[in-house]
Amino acid sequence: MLLKIFSSPRRVWLLIALACVGLLGFGLYLQHVVGLEPCPMCIVQRYVMVLIALVALVGAAFGSRLAAWITGGGLLVLSLGGAYVAARQSWLQWYPPEVVSCGRDFYGMIETFPLKRAIPMIFKGGGDCTQVDWTFLGGSIANWSFVCFVAIALAVAMVGVSTRFKQA
């Protein structure tokens, strides 16, 4: 039964894209409503999540077997890269270094640098990568981000296994 769910790559790609949009929306909620400042590693994870959503949407638009394999490969590489960054951030949270240099705050950048230099810095984030500001069931945002990236990688692998068995 589980293999049957993953037998339609296009459906799985669409679900992955929707999940990414939901996760990005929750991240924006935490930033703009709750007031949590994203750190540079959080920003990188957001970019990876956006890329995963875009690749999944493009893959869902095409129905060929080749497109499914290319999409699956791209999603696997991106999700493993995102998992690596999230794992690294989790490690930094569990074992914080003596000196933290993860970025500057937004207002400090605006006061110190001209606007044309400050705008690109905004996308680098400004929070502390080692600080845990929010938890759910004992896991930080980085921990849950790691879980989500690994779940995406596992879903992609299940699609590959399912389509492989369907061929045989």
* CATH code assigned at 54: 1.20.1550.10
Residue 168's pLDDT band (cuts 50, 70, 90): very low
- Name, in order, each residue with C-beta under 8 angstroms of 58's C-beta and a sequence gap of 6 or more: 71
> In one letter, which amino acid is 85?
V
Query: In the chain, how many domains are there?
Result: 1
Say if 124 falls within a structural domain: no
Say if 126 falls within a structural domain: no
Contact 82, 159 (CB under 8 A): no
Residue 123 CA: distances (Å) to CA of 3, 18, 27, 43, 141: 40, 23, 14, 7, 18
Residue 120's pLDDT band (cuts 50, 70, 90): low
Structural domain range at position 59: 2-101+131-167
Say if 122 falls within a structural domain: no
Say if 159 falls within a structural domain: yes
Residue 65's pLDDT band (cuts 50, 70, 90): confident
Say if 106 falls within a structural domain: no
Q: What is the pLDDT averaged over residues 55-84?
A: 88
Strand, coil or helix: what is 108? Answer: helix
Say if 22 falls within a structural domain: yes
Say if 113 falls within a structural domain: no
Candidate from 6-15, 30-39, 125-134, 140-149 with smallest mean pLDDT: 125-134
Say if 112 falls within a structural domain: no
